[in-house]
Amino acid sequence: MSTTSTRSMRAVRQIDYGGPEVLQVAEIERPSPGPGEVLVRVRATGVNPADWKIRAGLAGHRGLRPPFTPGMDLAGEVAAVGDDVTGFGPGDTVYGMVYPPGGAQAQYALARPGMLAPVPPGIDPVQAGALATAGLTAWQALAAARIGPGRKVLVHAAAGGVGHLAVQIAKAHGAHVTGSARPENHDFLRGLGADEVIDYTSQDFTDVLRDGVDVVLDPLGDDYGPRSLKILAPEGAYIDVRQPNPGRPEVRAMAQERGVRFTEITVAPDSGDLAGLVALAARGQLRVAVGHTFTLSQVGKAHELSETGHVQGKIVLIP
Ligand SMILES: NC(=O)c1ccc[n+]([C@@H]2O[C@H](COP(=O)([O-])OP(=O)(O)OC[C@H]3O[C@@H](n4cnc5c(N)ncnc54)[C@H](OP(=O)(O)O)[C@@H]3O)[C@@H](O)[C@H]2O)c1
């Protein structure tokens, strides 16, 4: 039974850098919103690969000194607002993206209004809690690629968090979408609207798509970069979202040589993009596939699962 008092909350705390054992659940002081801040009662908080990469000290951890609260995705209700906040008030249902040290994997989290958007009625709060980071990454990547009707798009890792949302966003914009995944995920991809599927375990996408594509969205990096450039049509766009990706400078130079665009995406919270994403969900054009839910205390298990690199859809923690 929770012993949370009105001034405290349960939160995941990363107490060091290392394996999942550096994650603990602790009772800490509940934050209160300062000027320009919104306090959200978190109902669901998605797990992203960034969480375990930060935990292991591999990426995104600069400037973060343990102990801190991890987690970037949240959905819930506004509990209180600070001075100068307009547009949000107590009781509003919201979702969005925040950053550690004051992360989302807690019963309450603070956000700036520009990191949030209202959630329309009818959207499942668990899906909303898993949407922000992966959805914004896909949305911002496809916007950078100038997605539109008839554009041929290849989404690598299409069954994952970013990929499965990218497939649906690209379809909603009228693109022709090919997704790559293991055969076990092919029905899943077709169910999301993918026009073609590639089995990366037995097919080489550079053979299958040798006639060319306009856009490649790449969450995998390594040799996927140079191989993807080979199948890009002139003036096509290669969008690199993998982090960290040490091979990036070479791929950038190769793209320049071939006359195709190279764009590197670092996701950023944006209330307009969040509103656009959730509007697609409200119209039934975007579904967040939540493959696994865990409690806050099971955060270590959630990280282990994410680290396998073979999760279908999203993992969510319920505080
Ligand atoms: N740039 C940014 O700001 C930003 C933001 C968000 C995420 N990211 C990065 O983007 C990457 C993907 O994130 P995510 O949330 O989508 O990860 P994820 O959910 O963990 O991705 C897992 C998926 O990857 C697929 N996969 C693994 N190897 C594959 C391969 N060789 N070919 C095709 N599919 C493969 C798996 O499908 P199968 O089971 O079918 O293999 C699985 O469905 C991560 O590196 C993450 O850190 C970057």
Residues 162 and 219 in one domain: yes
Q: How far apart are CA 316 and CA 43, in angstroms?
A: 10
Residue 208's CATH number: 3.40.50.720
Same domain, 142 and 174: yes
- Number of folded domains that form the chain: 2
Q: What is the pLDDT of residues 255-314, one digit of tens each?
A: 999 999 999 999 999 999 999 999 999 999 999 999 999 999 999 999 999 999 999 999
* Backbone Cα Rg of the chain: 20
DSSP letters of 11-55? EEEE-SSSSGGGEEEEEEEPP---TT-EEEEEEEEEE-HHHHHHH
Are 208 and 173 part of one and the same domain?
Answer: yes
Which of 242, 314, 316 gets mutated to test ligand 1 (max ligand atoms within 8 A of its CB)?
A: 242
Per-residue pLDDT tens for 76-112?
Answer: 999 999 999 999 999 999 999 999 999 999 999 999 9
**2 found inside a domain:** no
Give me the half-sphere count of Cα atoms (radius 13 Å) on the Cβ side of residue 85: 23
Do 192 and 115 fall into the same domain? no
The domain spanning residue 51 has which CATH number?
3.90.180.10
Q: What angle do CA 210, 215, 219 make, to 5 degrees?
A: 100
Name the domain boundary from 248, 264, 280.
264
Are residues 141 and 252 located together in one domain of the fold? yes
Mind giving me the DSSP string for 143-165?
A: HHTT--TT-EEEETTTTSHHHHH
Same domain, 220 and 202: yes
Say what the pLDDT of residue 200 is.
98
In a domain, 271, yes or no: no
Same domain, yes or no, for 115 and 159?
Answer: no
Instruction: Determine the structural domain holding residue 298 and report its residue range.
Output: 8-131+288-318
Residue 99 shares a structural domain with residue 144? no
User: pLDDT digits over 188-230, tens only?
Assistant: 999 999 999 999 999 999 999 999 999 999 999 999 999 999 9
| DSSP 8-state secondary structure symbol assigned to residue 203 | -
The per-residue pLDDT for range 133-148, each reduced to its tens digit, is: 999 999 999 999 999 9
Say yes or no: 121 and 18 in one domain: yes
- Any residues with Cβ below 6 Å from ligand 1, and which? 48-50, 133-134, 137, 156-157, 159-163, 180-182, 185, 200, 219-220, 241-243, 265-267, 306, 309-312
